[in-house]
Protein backbone atom coordinates (compact mmCIF):
# COMPACT_ATOMS: atom_id res chain seq x y z
CA UNK A 1 0.00 0.00 0.00
CA UNK A 2 1.26 3.45 -0.88
CA UNK A 3 2.28 5.77 1.92
CA UNK A 4 0.53 8.68 0.19
CA UNK A 5 -3.01 8.45 -1.17
CA UNK A 6 -4.12 9.56 -4.62
CA UNK A 7 -5.84 12.75 -3.51
CA UNK A 8 -2.74 13.86 -1.62
CA UNK A 9 -0.48 13.21 -4.63
CA UNK A 10 -2.84 15.12 -6.93
CA UNK A 11 -2.95 18.10 -4.55
CA UNK A 12 0.83 18.22 -4.21
CA UNK A 13 1.33 17.87 -7.97
CA UNK A 14 -1.06 20.76 -8.60
CA UNK A 15 0.77 22.93 -6.06
CA UNK A 16 4.09 22.14 -7.68
CA UNK A 17 2.81 22.89 -11.18
CA UNK A 18 1.01 26.06 -10.22
CA UNK A 19 3.28 28.11 -8.05
CA UNK A 20 5.38 26.38 -5.41
CA UNK A 21 8.74 24.68 -5.97
CA UNK A 22 9.20 20.99 -5.18
CA UNK A 23 11.99 21.97 -2.79
CA UNK A 24 9.78 24.28 -0.70
CA UNK A 25 6.95 21.71 -0.61
CA UNK A 26 9.51 19.07 0.41
CA UNK A 27 10.82 21.19 3.27
CA UNK A 28 7.33 22.13 4.44
CA UNK A 29 5.92 18.58 4.42
CA UNK A 30 9.02 16.45 4.93
CA UNK A 31 8.53 14.55 1.67
CA UNK A 32 11.50 13.83 -0.61
CA UNK A 33 11.45 16.37 -3.44
CA UNK A 34 12.05 13.62 -6.02
CA UNK A 35 8.61 12.23 -5.13
CA UNK A 36 7.04 15.64 -5.63
CA UNK A 37 8.75 16.14 -9.00
CA UNK A 38 7.65 12.66 -10.11
CA UNK A 39 4.04 13.28 -9.05
CA UNK A 40 4.05 16.59 -10.92
CA UNK A 41 5.35 14.89 -14.08
CA UNK A 42 2.72 12.15 -13.87
CA UNK A 43 0.01 14.77 -13.33
CA UNK A 44 1.28 16.86 -16.26
CA UNK A 45 1.07 13.75 -18.48
CA UNK A 46 -2.22 12.22 -17.25
CA UNK A 47 -4.07 15.07 -15.56
CA UNK A 48 -6.93 14.09 -13.26
CA UNK A 49 -6.53 10.43 -14.31
CA UNK A 50 -3.17 10.22 -12.54
CA UNK A 51 -2.49 7.63 -9.85
CA UNK A 52 -5.61 5.54 -10.43
CA UNK A 53 -4.93 2.11 -9.00
CA UNK A 54 -5.16 -0.88 -11.29
CA UNK A 55 -7.84 -3.42 -10.49
CA UNK A 56 -5.22 -6.18 -10.78
CA UNK A 57 -1.47 -6.02 -10.23
CA UNK A 58 0.85 -5.79 -13.21
CA UNK A 59 1.51 -9.33 -14.44
CA UNK A 60 4.90 -10.60 -15.54
CA UNK A 61 3.71 -10.40 -19.14
CA UNK A 62 2.60 -6.77 -18.69
CA UNK A 63 5.94 -5.84 -17.15
CA UNK A 64 7.81 -7.60 -19.94
CA UNK A 65 5.78 -5.75 -22.59
CA UNK A 66 6.34 -2.42 -20.84
CA UNK A 67 10.09 -3.01 -20.47
CA UNK A 68 10.29 -4.08 -24.12
CA UNK A 69 8.53 -0.86 -25.18
CA UNK A 70 10.89 1.12 -22.96
CA UNK A 71 13.91 -0.50 -24.60
CA UNK A 72 12.60 -0.10 -28.16
CA UNK A 73 11.86 3.61 -27.62
CA UNK A 74 15.03 4.33 -25.60
CA UNK A 75 12.96 5.65 -22.70
CA UNK A 76 14.26 6.02 -19.16
CA UNK A 77 12.64 4.00 -16.39
CA UNK A 78 11.22 7.22 -14.97
CA UNK A 79 9.64 8.29 -18.26
CA UNK A 80 8.27 4.78 -18.80
CA UNK A 81 6.62 4.72 -15.38
CA UNK A 82 5.11 8.15 -16.10
CA UNK A 83 3.71 7.05 -19.47
CA UNK A 84 2.15 3.96 -17.90
CA UNK A 85 0.78 5.98 -14.94
CA UNK A 86 2.54 3.93 -12.30
CA UNK A 87 2.75 4.90 -8.66
CA UNK A 88 6.55 4.90 -8.88
CA UNK A 89 9.50 3.55 -10.80
CA UNK A 90 9.81 0.55 -8.46
CA UNK A 91 6.52 -0.87 -9.72
CA UNK A 92 8.23 -2.52 -12.69
CA UNK A 93 10.71 -4.29 -10.46
CA UNK A 94 8.42 -5.57 -7.72
CA UNK A 95 7.21 -9.15 -7.77
Concatenated DSSP letters for the chain? --SS-HHHHHHHHHHHHHT--HHHHHHHHT--HHHHHHHHHHHHHHGGGTTPPPSSPPPHHHHHHHHHHHHHHT--HHHHHHHTT-S-GGGGG--
**Tens of pLDDT along 59-76?**
889 889 999 999 999 999
* pLDDT tens-place string over residues 16-62: 999 899 999 999 999 999 999 999 999 999 999 999 887 777 888 98
- Quote the pTM value: 0.83
Residue 45 pLDDT: 94
Rounded CA-CA distance 94/77 in Å is 14
Amino acid sequence: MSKYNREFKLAIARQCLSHESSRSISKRLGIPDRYIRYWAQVYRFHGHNSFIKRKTPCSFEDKYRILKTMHENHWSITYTSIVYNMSGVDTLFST
